[in-house]
Amino acid sequence: MSKRQALEPLEDVLDAPSPASKRARVDDEEMQTPESLNGPPNNGHLMSPRLEDRERIDILGADREEHEELEEAGALEEDVDEDDEPALAQPTRQKAPEAGYTDLYLDTIDRKVLDFDFEKLCSVTLSNINVYACLVCGKYFQGRGPKSQAYFHALDENHHVYVNMETKKVYVLPEGYEVTSKSLDDIKFVVDPRLSKTEVARLDKEPKVSWDLSNREYIPGFVGMNNIKANDYFNVVIQALAHVAPLRNYFMLEDLSSRPQLAQRFSTLVRKIWNPRAFKTHVSPHELLQEIALRSSKRFTLTDQSDPVDFLSWFLNNLHLAVGGSKTKPGSSIVQKVFQGTLKIESQEITARADAGDRLRFEDAAVKTDIMRFMILTLDLPPAPLFQDALEKNIIPQVPLTTILNKYDGVRPQEKMKNRVRYRLLHPLPPYLLFHIKRFSKNKFVSERNPTIVTFPVQSLDMSPYVEPNPREYPPGEPIWYDLAANITHEAVKRKDDSVEGEQEMKVWRVQLKDRSRDEWYGIQDLFVEKERGETLFTKESYVQVWERRKGMPNGSANAKGKGRA
């Protein structure tokens, strides 16, 4: 059977429609086969680019490398369909406030709730890294990014202003831009108080009075310190050291950012004690206490009371190492330059042939001499009488300071263990002397306190009788004057107890400090600050004394006016 012939040849049909494709129709674009120009033959059909794509390729074709760099940097936006957009869009962050809104949210800052004395830890994560303080409620949070604790706090509580505790920069969240308003300078100063060298030099010369936010008057340097639970032993030592002028000036002016945290936090606390623009009339030692508890393996904490002398000895030694001092080289730090002196100790063994009368008599032979360094001199009190005399004059025994200083005259021997010893100070004496009046003694059964009152002059204590003459260092016979700078006292307070004893003694520590600019004395016990009379300072039970060598009289030739009597 032959095939039927077509009515019209296919070559003559020009507009004949093509057969329907079995694939899905594309209504917007037609599938065409582009002609290859000066290239290899095409194997298959290619989709021709759209008009806008051609224009884009023509524009960017001149510099392809620049186009790739812009794409990597994210400068070019890709065409994204609406169906591909995420459900939650990325929050927008601003680098600067909008025009006319530079002071937005600053009226919500509450300066009365701000307290930057506590340790810089996030209140949620307890981390000390990248901590921000909310200037509306005073809480600490970590970070300021879209997933940070401060960001969530800004959204939840509607608190928008935060300060970085390291850089002192202020930011507004959730927008994320920095605020550079001059009205925030007082907050930045309280976070980290910094005084110039000229201002520090005027602290002891020009009397200054300041006011806090509650319009309460206070004197910089003579402010109360929080007793969180039982850290009064710590407070009195820090207050006394903060009034040792060379030590105070060093920690207020030096850059200790590369030093251990112990030196940095002590520097911060000293600067806050002397802050003339504080928000409140007291400071909190919490930040330094936490570091000390960590470094001392919880030997000194804020919950258990310790001995001020034990803490002072530990703190000075560790502070010496924290500022770069050497364990072997004397005078290698500001701590040793201020407090360290030299002591000669002569010792001799007590033999069995010694009688009761000459038991402490030194023999010329077999005398052992040692030269030692010291930072604290211990003074021994005479034993308190067991009974009162007939006239009841020995209710509270008294002894002059010069009497117990005779321990260091190099003449009077003392019995120590199985040896007889005598002590003598050597030139040069340090700029500051630390005296420890030993009141407490312990045995296997009980701890005893000696209530003897030590009388002393507030000014003009002559230390020359206790120093071995050395014409090369100091003219012999000339007085060496020292003036009292600080006095730490002890007070025993009875408290009721439910135990069998019924009542027990509680130790209360107090410090008396001299205001050199006014020539007045102030007593500080935790948060209480009151003025005291210099003539009655000795009526308390002195425990630690800080004596300052008088300046301007290296040879003792100047008139020692104001010399007191014990």
Using 50 as the pLDDT threshold, list the residues of the chain that sit under it: 1, 21-49, 51-88, 500, 554-566
pLDDT at 194: 93
Whole-number Å distance between alpha carbons of 205 and 342: 32
pLDDT at 444: 74
What are residue 510's phi and psi, to 5 degrees? Answer: -145, 150
Partners of 263 in the β-ladder: none
DSSP E strand boundaries for 254-388: 282-283, 341-349, 368-374, 377-380
Residue 409 and residue 466 in contact, taking contact as beta carbons nearer than 8 Å: yes
H or E element in which residue 236 lies? helix 232-241
Whole-number Å distance between alpha carbons of 324 and 127: 28
143 alpha carbon, distance to own chain's centre: 22
Residue 491 and residue 508 in contact, taking contact as beta carbons nearer than 8 Å: yes
pLDDT at 305: 92
pLDDT at 394: 56
Whole-number Å distance between alpha carbons of 225 and 509: 13
pLDDT at 76: 41
For residue range 433-475, list pLDDT tens digits in order.
999 999 998 877 778 888 999 999 999 999 999 999 988 888 8
pLDDT at 493: 85
CB atoms within 10 A of CB 387: 5
DSSP 325: -
Partners of 179 in the β-ladder: 170
DSSP string, 141-185: EE--STTSHHHHHHHHH---EEEETTT--EEETTTTEEE--GGGH
pLDDT at 233: 95
Whole-number Å distance between alpha carbons of 230 and 528: 16
SS3 370: strand
Query: Do the domains spanning 106-190 and 341-374+376-549 agree at the CATH topology level?
Result: no
Class of domain 193-322 as given by CATH: alpha beta
DSSP 461: E
pLDDT at 51: 47
Whole-number Å distance between alpha carbons of 252 and 408: 35
Give the domain ranges of the chain. Answer: 106-190, 193-322, 341-374+376-549
CA angle 427, 431, 433 (to 5 degrees): 85
DSSP 137: T
- Domain 106-190 indexed as CATH 2.40.50.140: no
pLDDT at 2: 54
pLDDT at 501: 53
CB atoms within 10 A of CB 327: 8
Whole-number Å distance between alpha carbons of 12 and 15: 9
Considering only CA atoms, which of 295, 293, 288 is closest in space to residue 268?
288
In three-state form (DSSP H/G/I as H, E/B as E, the rest C), the secondary structure along 488-557 is EEEEEEEEECCCCCCEEEEEEEEEEEEECCCCEEEEEECCEEEEECHHHHHHCEEEEEEEEECCCCCCCC
Q: What is the CA radius of gyration of the chain?
A: 40
For residue range 118-146, list pLDDT tens digits in order.
889 999 999 999 999 999 999 999 999 89
Residue 292 and residue 310 in contact, taking contact as beta carbons nearer than 8 Å: no
- Domain 341-374+376-549 indexed as CATH 3.90.70.10: yes
